[in-house]
Each structure stands twice: as structure tokens, then as C-alpha cells.
Amino acid sequence: MSGFATARQKMVDGQVRPSDVTDIRILDAMLVVPREAFVPENKQALAYLDLDLDVSEGGSAKRFLIKPAVLAKMLQAAEIRATDRVLVVGCATGYAAAVIARFATHVTATESDSALAARAQAILAANGCGNVTVRTAAPTEGDPANAPWDVIVLNGATEIVPERLYGQLQNGGRLVGVFAKSQPARATMVTCSHGDFGHRTLFDAVAPVLPGMELVPAFVF
């Protein structure tokens, strides 16, 4: 077993399984998808650590792969079906999309940084993810032209209520992400039912805030 394959096994056994992730599809996907391929070469040694990993390069804004256990727990809560169409918001280099693509029919991933989006598309193609499409878009925009979505996954946190994304959910659709409007931040699932949206707290979690989803301070007189 190669060094990265061993690290991948340790990530699943030491981070993901102990976080009560039992969905075998998620575990199998994380054992197969090479996380190091989605990380700059000089950071590949960090690919399987329990941290939010900065994958930005040069002068681009900071972009991250969120912690493996946080991603896995959110995906398990979303109960993604084989027939589901999934939107990944703020995909960075595409790791979350690659994991989901192992058990969903099609994944669309958006990324606000056009250079990073192009890099994500190239990495995904090189790793056989033919059922993933990458589009350049701000996290708050989603992908309304191809909505409605069965599942929307935020690859990061939001400090605002992403109402525009809510409106892109299918009836019965689910949105999962880290909501950080108040503290402590919590992974949350939003479910659409005939135009109404229910919120359910999943677990306490911390993740970097997606660009454009920061809370703008209000003036106080």
C-alpha cells in the first residue's frame, strides 16, 4: 500500500468512522478519491490531516478543503440518493464534488475563482469524474439555470442566510452547510417542503467562511 493510500485509510479509520459516519458509500468514496490530487504539490503531505486545508495558490483569495469528518457527517445527513442531482457551492479544487460523484448521478460544482474552477475541472477530469461539471459563480448565486437541486452542499461556512440557494431546492431537497451567523457555529440541514424551509442543527462545527457569505457589519447609531 502506497504512503497516500495508507494515509487515506488512516483518515477514514481515525477521523471519519469515529465521527459516527456509517454510510458505506461515503466511507468507500473517501477511501478511493485521492485527496492529495486536489492539493498543491507542496501541501500534499498535509492532505489527510484533520484540518481545513488551504488549496489557494499565488495571490488568489484563501480557499479551503473543509475537514474530512465535517464533510462526511454533512453528506451522511443529506442522505444523497443515487438518482440525486447535487450542487456543491464553493468547490475550491473539487474534492467534495469528487467524493459525492461516487454515489450521485450528477454533480455541479461552483467556484468564484475562475482559475481555481479551471483547476478543479482539470483535476476532476484527470481522476475520472465524468459526471461532474464545474461552473464559475459566486457562492451566493448557486446555479439557478440548472435548478432545482435535490441536494446543495456548502463547502464552507456561511454567516448569512443563503436565501437564493434555498429557492433552488427541489421540493424535498436538502441543503447542508456550516451556519456561522451566531456562535458556536453549527452544521445545519435545511429542508424544502412546498416552499417552506425547515432548519435542523446537526452538530457543532467550524469551517472557513465562503467568499461573499460573510456577514457585513451594520452601522450602529
Residue 195 lies in a domain: yes
Map grid coordinates 473543509 to a residue.
66
Q: Which amino acid is at 181?
A: K
Provide the CB-side half-sphere exposure for 168 (13 A, CA): 24
Residue 217 lies in a domain: no
Q: Which run of H or E residues covers position 141? A: none
Residue 216 lies in a domain: no
Predicted local distance difference test score (pLDDT) of residue 60: 62
pLDDT beyond 80 at 100: yes
Q: Which run of H or E residues covers position 12? A: none
Average of pLDDT values for 182-204?
96
CATH assignment at residue 175: 3.40.50.150
For the chain, what is the mean pLDDT? 95
Kindly report, residue by residue over 170-187, the tens digit of the pLDDT: 999 999 999 998 889 999
How many domains does the structure of the chain reveal? 1
80 — pLDDT class (breaks 50, 70, 90): very high
Cell of 202: 446537526
**Residue 215 to residue 1: CA distance in whole angstroms:** 45
pLDDT beyond 90 at 65: yes
Ranges of H-type helices in 23-155: 24-32, 68-78, 95-101, 114-126
Residue 214 lies in a domain: no
Residue 120 lies in a domain: yes
Residue 216: C-alpha distances to residues 89, 165, 213 (Å): 20, 19, 9
Kindly report, residue by residue over 19-50, the tens digit of the pLDDT: 999 999 999 999 999 999 999 999 999 999 99
Residue 218 lies in a domain: no
Prediction pTM value:
0.95
Residue 215 lies in a domain: no
Domain ranges, residue 194:
3-204
Establish whether the linkage from the previous residue to 184 is cis, with ω within 30° of 0.
yes
